[in-house]
Amino acid sequence: MSAASSQAQALQRIRADVRAMSAYHIQPSQGLLKMDTMENPFRLPAALQKALGERLGALEINRYPGERLEVLKQMLKDYAGAPAGSAVLLGNGSDEIITLLALATAQPSAAGRATMLAPMPGFVMYPLSAQLQGLDFVGVPLTADFDLDVPAMQAAIAEHKPAITYIAYPNNPTATLWPEDQVQAVIDAVAQIGGLVVMDEAYQPFASRSWISQMQAQPERNAHVLLMRTLSKFGLAGARLGYLIGPAAIVNELDKVRPPYNISVLNCETAIFALEQADLYAAQAQAIRAERQPLIDALMALEGVEKVWPSEANMVLLRVRNAGAAQAAMKQRGVLVKNVSAMHPLLANCLRLTVGTREENAQMLAALKESL
C-alpha cells in the first residue's frame, strides 16, 4: 500500500464533521495594529513585569501544579464576591470550561441527544462545543437591534428543554448587556425545565453590572446558575485562565471531567500575581471604558457608517456598506479589525472593533475613514 493510500485511509478515522470544519484562524499581526480580538492594550509597568518574572523563575516547574491552585480559587471567589456555598472550577481559558460543560452534560435521553441553547448571534464556541461533544444546538435569534427576544427564548426552552442555556453578559460580538428582568425571566424559564444556566461574563471588567449581585441577592432563584469568567479581558489573554463559580454541588460534579493538571504552575502564579494587583487592572479597565463612548461618537460621525450599537464591553459593533472591503482596506493601512458578517444573518456588513488606548483608537478611526 502506498503512503498516500494509507494516509487517506487513516484520515477516514477522523470524524467526517471534523474533517469538514475549518480550524480557528488567527490573523497574522506582525507590524499591524491589532484591534480584532479585544485584548487589554496595557502592559504591566516595568517594575511589576520584573517582579512577575522573578516569581515565575523561582517556581518548581519540575513539579505538577499543587496547593497554589486552591489559593487562586479562594482569591477568585473573594474577587468576584461569590455567594456562600460556592465552588470554583478552573479552565485553560473559558474555552476549556465551555468544552467541559458540554462534555459533562452530553447524556442521551429517551427524547434524544442533550441540547444546548443560546441567543444568537453569540460566542462561536457555544455551537462548536455542542457539535464536538454530541449535543444538539438551538440558537434563538436576537431582535434586529440585538435585544433579547424573551418570548422566543421562553418558547424554545420549553420546547427543547436544554441541558445548558448560555447567556453572554455582555454579549459577544454585539457588546449588549440585556436588562436584568429579561435575563431573570430566561433563568426562571430554565428552572422550570430543570436545566443549567451559564452566565458568560468574559467582558465583566467593562460592564456596568454583574449577575453575581443577583446570585447574592436571590440565591434560591439562581440555584441553577453558573457564572463563567476569564482573566483574558482582565489583562491576561496570554496566560489562559478561565473560571466558573456556582453552587458547590454542581461545580464539584463538573470538576470530575476536568483534566487533573489543566492549569500550569506558570498560569496559576501569574493569575495570583495579577489578582494581587487588582487595583492596577481596574484602573486599566476604567481607562478603556473612558475611551469607549468617544470612539462610538466618532464612529457615528463617519460618512459611510450606517449604524453603531451601544457597548458595555471593550468592543464596538458597527455596520458599513461593505464590511469585507472595509476590513481589507484597513489591513492595507496597518489595522486589523474583525469582519463578523459571516457569523449570523443579523450581522450582515458588520465590523467589530476593539476599544484600545486613545492613540490606538485614533489610528483605527483614521484607517476606517480612509477605507469606507
Scored b (16 or more CB within 10 A) or e, 155-177 reads: ebbeebbbbbbbbbbbbbbbbbb
Fill in the DSSP letter of residue 112.
B
Contacts of 44 (CB under 8 A, 6+ apart): 52, 277, 280
Say if residue 145 is in the same domain as residue 89: yes
Residue 1's pLDDT is what?
Answer: 73
Interval 48-101: pLDDT, tens = 999 999 999 999 999 999 999 999 999 999 999 999 999 999 999 999 999 999
Same structural domain, 272 and 343: no
Cis amide linkage into residue 345, ω under 30° from 0: no
Last residue of a domain, one of 220, 246, 276: 276
Beta strand 350-354 with 338-339: parallel, antiparallel or unpaired?
antiparallel
Q: Are 264 and 69 a contacting pair, CB within 8 Å?
A: no
Residue showing cell 487513516: 10
Band (108; pLDDT cuts 50, 70, 90) = confident
Q: Cis check for the bond before 173: say yes or no (omega within 30 of 0).
A: yes
Last residue of a domain, one of 231, 250, 276: 276
State how far the Cα of 235 lies from the Cα of 9, in Å rounded to an integer. 45
Q: Considering the domain boundaries, does residue 2 fall inside one? A: no
For the segment 266-287, the average pLDDT, to the nearest whole number, is: 97
Q: Are residues 238 and 331 in the same domain?
A: no
- Which are the contacts of 256, defined by CB distance < 8 A and separation ≥ 6? 104
Output the nine-digit C-alpha cell for 127: 455551537
Cα–Cα dist 210/223, whole Å: 16
Residue-number span of the structural domain to which 247 is assigned: 63-276
In a domain, 12, yes or no: no
Distance CA 224, CA 188 (A): 10
Number of independent structural domains in the chain: 2
> Does residue 73 lie within any of the structural domains?
yes
38 shares a domain with 85: no
Asked whether the predicted pLDDT for residue 241 surpasses 80, the reply is: yes
pLDDT at 110: 67
Q: Mark which of 254, 276, 298 sits at the end of a domain.
A: 276
DSSP 8-state assignment for residue 236 = I
Residue 145 lies in a domain: yes
> 337-351 pLDDT, tens per residue?
999 999 999 999 999
Q: 16 in a domain, yes or no?
A: no
176-232 pLDDT, tens per residue?
A: 999 999 999 999 999 999 999 999 999 999 999 999 999 999 999 999 999 999 999
Asked if residue 204 and residue 321 are part of one domain, the reply reads: no
Contact 234, 205 (CB under 8 A): yes
The 10s digit of each residue's pLDDT in 123-180 is 999 999 999 999 999 999 999 999 999 999 999 999 999 999 999 999 999 999 999 9
Same domain, 244 and 226: yes
Q: Do 33 and 168 lie in a common domain?
A: no
